[in-house]
Chain A
Amino acid sequence: MKRPHLRTGTGTVTAGEGPPDSAFLSVRDLRIHFDTDDGLVRAVDGLTFRLDRGRALGIVGESGSGKSVTSLGIMGLHRSGRARVTGEVWLDGEELVNADPERVRQLRGRKMAMIFQDPLTAMHPFYSIGRQITEAYRVHHPDVHRKQAHERAVEMLARVGIPQPDKRVDDYPHQFSGGMRQRAMIAMALVNDPDLLIADEPTTALDVTVQAQILDLIRDLQRETGSAVVIITHDLGVVAEIADDILVMYAGRCMEHGPAEQVFSRPQHPYTWGLLASMPRINRERQDRLLPIEGNPPSLIRVPPGCPFHPRCRYALLTDGRSNTEVPPLVPVDADDPDHTVACHLTPEDRQRIFSEDVAPGL
């Protein structure tokens, strides 16, 4: 099941326009807007990133940042009536946003799979765990016999570390503990050996000790299968644990994106600073006050003009008013570091100075 780092073109690429680059997953200028009675909600507003096989991308943001909406957008799970999705999502050389919904359905669960935050509500209460896994398998393998699919379900449960899988396969979701349910959910997502796994807050509903188990499991499975993983979370600790790359979202846009070690050791965006400074840490020796980000996240109907973070930014005044009017582009931090990008009007020198003088001592 391990595939080499090669493009396995499926031949359905729209004529004339090839994939933008060789990346396995490439999201370009993705916009997801919802029409509501109160106005247009710009949940995701021009998001661009790419991800290779075998790597894990952590998308970090607070509630309303658009991180979950993005994941559903990649999976093509927004119902056409309410959501307006524009931009491009290239998965292994195939564009999904403008593709035939039936084609996207065939890819869902087979080439790209998803696990959700709360495995109790995310599994159907009336069907056994085994039946739900078999269903996921057989929808993409229609000629497989029921019995074979059942064996596959048992095999998957064993692989995600559920004891006595041949017995537990007939249990119902409510008979599993929270951690076991999330394992079963992972088994269900991986039953068709997908190349892309999207995990939306996979450990938020779990206890810390179980969270550690699940994160280990996801990492091990990824190593084993060489798939690409997108992990969506509000917890910077979780991304540090599992992600190779980090994308910080705010108000539907990317604020900062780069390799995890860079983002944690040399964070560039004031919002990233704010997130890091406001979280209590178990290993923090100094126990003085936390430094919260003042104010509240903006309404996605009335996103502030310019940089969406400027009303809460302590350094907005240093930009000569540009942050109030101009949307900052996502640019590389410096030449040595082309993969680390940031959307901020502050000059690199200012950022460097503020970080080392003002922010780093508080972390």
Chain B
Amino acid sequence: MTAYIVRRVIAAIFLLIAVTMITFGIFFLVPRLAGETSTQLAAQYVGRDPSPEALAAVEKNLGFDQPIYQQWWEFAHGIVAGRTFRYGPDASVCHVPCFGYSFKSHLPVWPEIVSRLPVTISLAAGAAVIWVVTGVAIGVLSALKRGSVFDRLSMGLALAGVSLPIFFTALLSLALFSYKWPIFPNLQYVPLTQDPLLWAKNLVLPWVTLAFLYSALYARLTRAGMLETMSEDYIRTARAKGLPERQVVVRHGLRAALTPIITIFGLDLGLLLGGAVLTETAFSLPGVGQYAVEAITDNDLPQILAVTTLAAFFIVAANLVVDVLYVAVDPRVRYK
């Protein structure tokens, strides 16, 4: 078991290294392959009509004059050991984990992300609670009452939830509940530590909007899983033992049906922690996802790299947690 975890962690580290390399490659190598010089690259990050000297200084400051592997190495080194940037005689120390300074705003990237993380976590965690509870409950009931009015209705709704794009449902809910009937007016992120009630109230709409999509997905998954497990032989055995139907469903059916859902839940949560781009944008939540959008529109490499690495980290970590959890849930994996 320990060997397994160690092996997985090592694999995860290599994966993260590969992700940064590929991101680096996309933003540095591809333009060069397309014929752009490093000076032209640097020109994106200075004002209009810069003097050749200013341009050269920027090029040197941003490290564009160095070979790409060295640039990547310095970036990676900065994350684990910190980095010192020199601007002529001045030097600024960027502490661990150093993701460098934004090309545009010249602010350090990491503290900015740290300040935005609570927003994204609040959004993702709250929505996750809602979608797991509602999705699984609806899925189980649908499976047990297969073919009933409830089943058809909820599966119809679930189909809508899966197919409606989130920016549509987000804008619709804003239009209805924030403007037409201002139940949730002046949506603005308030930190949990500052005012827990207002924090929750202002997050209700984003939570519900995000959870709608995922509940629909989870309801469908749970329903399919329950239909499958409830026709298993061991369910018949449980009934033959004389267990009350509720115990048969919960202890024997749901327990088995939930196992694959844990996997998907871990991955979904990991994905969202890397930034719920659409929801954050639609509700103007200052989270990591919004930061990612800014980074991409500005072509701000340190920001992009930081956001990608963070997202990759969450996904890889979630994967690891899920696999370890799976071992705990399914004894067949444990004793292989």
Q: Mark A31-73, 1 if CB is under 8 A from B, else 0.
A: 0000000000000000000000000000000000000000010
State whether B330 touches A109 (Cβ < 8 A): no
Interface size of A as a range: 20 to 34
State whether A75 touches B240 (Cβ < 8 A): yes
Name A72's closest neighbour in chain B (CB-CB).
B236
Q: Does A114 contact B (CB under 8 A)?
A: yes
Q: Does B239 contact A (CB under 8 A)?
A: yes
Contacts of A105 in B (CB 8 A): 242, 244
State whether A126 touches B233 (Cβ < 8 A): no
Residues 229-245 (chain A) with a chain B CB within 8 angstroms: none
State whether B330 touches A188 (Cβ < 8 A): no
State whether B237 touches A116 (Cβ < 8 A): yes
State whether A136 touches B241 (Cβ < 8 A): yes
State whether B242 touches A175 (Cβ < 8 A): no
B266, chain A: closest CB distance, angstroms: 18
Contacts of A188 in B (CB 8 A): 241
Q: Does A125 contact B (CB under 8 A)?
A: yes
State whether B241 touches A122 (Cβ < 8 A): no
State whether A108 touches B241 (Cβ < 8 A): yes
State whether A172 touches B335 (Cβ < 8 A): yes
Contacts of B259 in A (CB 8 A): 126
State whether B332 touches A174 (Cβ < 8 A): yes
Name A107's closest neighbour in chain B (CB-CB).
B242
Q: Does A144 contact B (CB under 8 A)?
A: no
Chain A CB count within 10 A is highest, among B234, B239, B251, B335, for: B234
Q: Does A353 contact B (CB under 8 A)?
A: no
B253, chain A: closest CB distance, angstroms: 10
Contacts of B330 in A (CB 8 A): 125-126
A4, chain B: closest CB distance, angstroms: 25
State whether B242 touches A126 (Cβ < 8 A): no
With contact pairs A172-B331, A174-B332 given, residues A123 and B241 touching in the complex (Cβ less than 8 Å): no
B329, chain A: closest CB distance, angstroms: 7
Q: Mark B219-255, 1 if CB is under 8 A from A, else 0.
A: 0000000000000111011111111100100011001
How many interface contacts (CB-CB < 8 Å) are there between A and B? 73
Contacts of B329 in A (CB 8 A): 126
| Residue in A77, A124, A126 whose beta carbon sits within 8 Å of that of B240 in the complex | A77
Once the chains are docked, how many angstroms separate the CA of A189 from the CA of B247?
18
Name A128's closest neighbour in chain B (CB-CB).
B331
With contact pairs A126-B256, A126-B329, A174-B335 given, residues A121 and B244 touching in the complex (Cβ less than 8 Å): no
Once the chains are docked, how many angstroms separate the CA of A127 from the CA of B196?
41
A242, chain B: closest CB distance, angstroms: 20
Residues 70-119 (chain A) with a chain B CB within 8 angstroms: 72, 75, 77, 105-110, 113-114, 116, 118
State whether B238 touches A124 (Cβ < 8 A): yes
Name B329's closest neighbour in chain A (CB-CB).
A126
Q: Does A135 contact B (CB under 8 A)?
A: yes
Once the chains are docked, how many angstroms separate the CA of A77 from the CA of B259?
26
B200, chain A: closest CB distance, angstroms: 36
State whether B256 touches A139 (Cβ < 8 A): no
State whether A123 touches B237 (Cβ < 8 A): yes
Name A198's closest neighbour in chain B (CB-CB).
B240
Contacts of B332 in A (CB 8 A): 125, 172, 174
Once the chains are docked, how many angstroms separate the CA of A124 from the CA of B232?
9
Name B146's closest neighbour in chain A (CB-CB).
A81
Once the chains are docked, how many angstroms separate the CA of A108 from the CA of B236?
12
Once the chains are docked, how many angstroms separate the CA of A122 from the CA of B243?
15
State whether B242 touches A106 (Cβ < 8 A): yes
Q: Does A7 contact B (CB under 8 A)?
A: no
Q: Does A140 contact B (CB under 8 A)?
A: yes
Contacts of A135 in B (CB 8 A): 241, 243, 251
Once the chains are docked, how many angstroms separate the CA of A109 from the CA of B335?
30
Once the chains are docked, how many angstroms separate the CA of A75 from the CA of B255?
25
Contacts of B255 in A (CB 8 A): 124, 126
Once the chains are docked, how many angstroms separate the CA of A124 from the CA of B243?
14
Contacts of A110 in B (CB 8 A): 242
With contact pairs A118-B233, A172-B331, A174-B332 given, residues A125 and B256 touching in the complex (Cβ less than 8 Å): yes
Contacts of B251 in A (CB 8 A): 135
Name A172's closest neighbour in chain B (CB-CB).
B331
Contacts of A125 in B (CB 8 A): 234, 256, 330-332
Name A77's closest neighbour in chain B (CB-CB).
B239
Contacts of B236 in A (CB 8 A): 72, 77, 116, 122
Q: Mark A128-157, 1 if CB is under 8 A from B, else 0.
A: 100000011001100000000000000000
Residues 65-111 (chain B) with a chain A CB within 8 angstroms: none
State whether A121 touches B234 (Cβ < 8 A): yes
Contacts of A109 in B (CB 8 A): 240-243
Once the chains are docked, how many angstroms separate the CA of A77 from the CA of B240?
7
State whether B335 touches A121 (Cβ < 8 A): no
Name B230's closest neighbour in chain A (CB-CB).
A79
Name A118's closest neighbour in chain B (CB-CB).
B233
Once the chains are docked, how many angstroms separate the CA of A128 from the CA of B330?
11
Q: Mark B294-336, 1 if CB is under 8 A from A, else 0.
A: 0000000000000000000000000000000000011110010
State whether A124 touches B242 (Cβ < 8 A): no
Chain B CB count within 10 A is highest, among A72, A113, A135, A188, for: A135
State whether B241 touches A124 (Cβ < 8 A): no
B127, chain A: closest CB distance, angstroms: 29
B141, chain A: closest CB distance, angstroms: 15
Name B331's closest neighbour in chain A (CB-CB).
A172
With contact pairs A116-B236, A124-B238 given, residues A139 and B243 touching in the complex (Cβ less than 8 Å): yes
A-B contact pairs, 28 of them (CB 8 A): A77-B236, A77-B240, A106-B242, A108-B239, A109-B243, A110-B242, A113-B240, A114-B240, A118-B233, A121-B232, A122-B234, A122-B236, A124-B238, A124-B255, A125-B234, A125-B331, A125-B332, A126-B329, A126-B331, A128-B331, A135-B241, A136-B241, A139-B243, A139-B244, A139-B247, A174-B332, A174-B335, A175-B335
**Supplied contacts A106-B242, A116-B236, 19 more A-B pairs, CB within 8 Å:** A72-B236, A75-B240, A77-B240, A105-B242, A107-B242, A108-B240, A109-B243, A122-B233, A122-B236, A122-B237, A123-B237, A124-B237, A124-B238, A124-B255, A124-B256, A126-B331, A135-B243, A136-B241, A172-B335
A-B pairs, top 8 by smallest CB distance, nearest first, are: A109-B242, A108-B242, A121-B233, A109-B241, A136-B241, A172-B331, A124-B234, A122-B233
